[in-house]
């Protein structure tokens, strides 16, 4: 049983529209709080989108994700998992970016996550654009390369943009592989689709051994079969999960900067996260929620619902490890 201090505020005690919004109504702790040593999973915001190359807005994502997460309750309705009774969770706040300096912002993110890793806390992140994943991986994968299960409509494996710019939300995993943070043979990308400029990113994936599952294959095989392969590719070794909300069809998740039609529905979006059960997840992110393109908040609510599914799998894994 977890420490009751780390239990969320119940909607039966304080209405969901009241109080200061934190991720899933959890207690907020700073990294210098002495209770950090008791935290097992830390929910973190990275409100930064300086890697965006077209429609900006994900810098506002963490705030709306927190607001919509007040609707998350104590128990998973499908699996019965009650994660907050299994692991100590807390909202560790936001990494403060420097919106005027891309590299300084990435350094700030890595330094923040270095402290999280040193405290033996598993980070579950709400972004931010997808470039946020690179500085997070610099903290998590600096000693040994990680595997990765990546849900997206884009590979984010491009060499560069605009004739030489190497750091955008379309390049983080090319850089991560080049820096030795990811083992490409333990990386699987699911849901890839849309029009393209060329095949440079897919050619790189083929050359280094990244498994790319295009949306046509996903729909033909179904989530269960695809996720069985993803779990096999990840194996039992440490694995990062990166979930771009534009994996989901824009009919269900319009609030994102680079939508692509033909994707999964919202049920399948939750299903693939649920089917991560058994993966050795050492960190995860949900990125590219852009509130300016979805004033209803439905995209952010789907995003935090996906984060909750990932959290349930973390709770199951940590609970088994502690037995």
Secondary structure (3-state) at 146: strand
Nearest to 272 by CA among 261, 264, 283: 264
Burial of 52 (0-12, 13-18, 19+ CB in 10 A): buried
Give 216-237 as a 3 state SS string: HHHHHHCHHHHHHHHHHHHCCC
Residue 304 contacts residue 65 (beta carbons within 8 Å): yes
Q: How far apart are CA 167 and CA 155, in angstroms?
A: 14
d(CA 251, CA 240): 27
Helix, strand, coil proportions of the chain in percent (round to 5)? 40, 15, 40
Widest distance between CA atoms in the chain: 56
Annotated binding site: 130, 152, 154, 156, 244, 246
- Look at phi and psi of residue 11 and say left if phi exceeds 0, alpha if psi is from -120 to 50, else beta: alpha
Binding site, annotated residues for Mn(2+): 130, 152, 154, 156, 244, 246
Given a contact cutoff of 8 angstroms between Cβ atoms, the answer to whether 59 and 37 are in contact is no
The length of the chain, given as a count of residues = 323
């Amino acid at each position: 049983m977890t420490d009751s201090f780390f239990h969320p505020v119940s909607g039966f005690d304080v209405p969901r529209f009241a109080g200061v919004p934190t991720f899933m109504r959890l207690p907020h702790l700073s990294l210098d709080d002495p209770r950090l040593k008791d935290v097992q999973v830390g929910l973190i915001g990275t409100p930064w989108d300086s890697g965006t190359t077209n429609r900006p807005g994900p810098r506002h994502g963490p705030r709306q994700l927190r607001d919509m997460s007040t609707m998350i309750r104590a128990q998973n309705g499908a699996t019965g998992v009650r994660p907050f009774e299994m692991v100590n969770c807390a909202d560790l706040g936001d990494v403060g970016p420097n919106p005027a300096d891309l590299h300084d912002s990435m350094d700030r993110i890595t330094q923040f996550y270095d402290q999280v890793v040193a405290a033996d806390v598993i980070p579950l992140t709400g972004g931010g654009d997808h470039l946020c994943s690179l500085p997070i991986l610099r903290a998590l994968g600096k000693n040994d390369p990680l595997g990765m299960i990546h849900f997206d409509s884009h590979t984010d494996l491009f060499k560069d943009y605009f004739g030489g710019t190497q750091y955008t939300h379309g390049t983080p995993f090319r850089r991560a592989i080049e820096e030795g943070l990811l083992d490409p043979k333990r990386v699987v990308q699911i849901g890839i689709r849309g029009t393209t400029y060329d095949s440079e990113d897919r050619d790189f994936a083929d050359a280094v051994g990244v498994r790319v599952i295009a949306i046509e294959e996903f729909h033909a095989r179904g989530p269960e079969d695809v996720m069985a392969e993803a779990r096999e590719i990840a194996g039992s070794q440490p694995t990062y999960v990166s979930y771009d909300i534009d994996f989901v069809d824009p009919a269900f998740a319009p609030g994102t900067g680079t939508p692509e039609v033909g994707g999964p529905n919202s049920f399948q979006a939750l299903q693939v996260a649920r089917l991560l059960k058994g993966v050795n997840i050492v960190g995860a992110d949900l990125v590219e929620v852009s509130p300016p393109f979805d004033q209803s908040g439905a995209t952010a609510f789907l995003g935090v619902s996906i984060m909750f599914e990932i959290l349930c799998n973390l709770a199951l894994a940590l609970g088994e490890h502690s037995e």
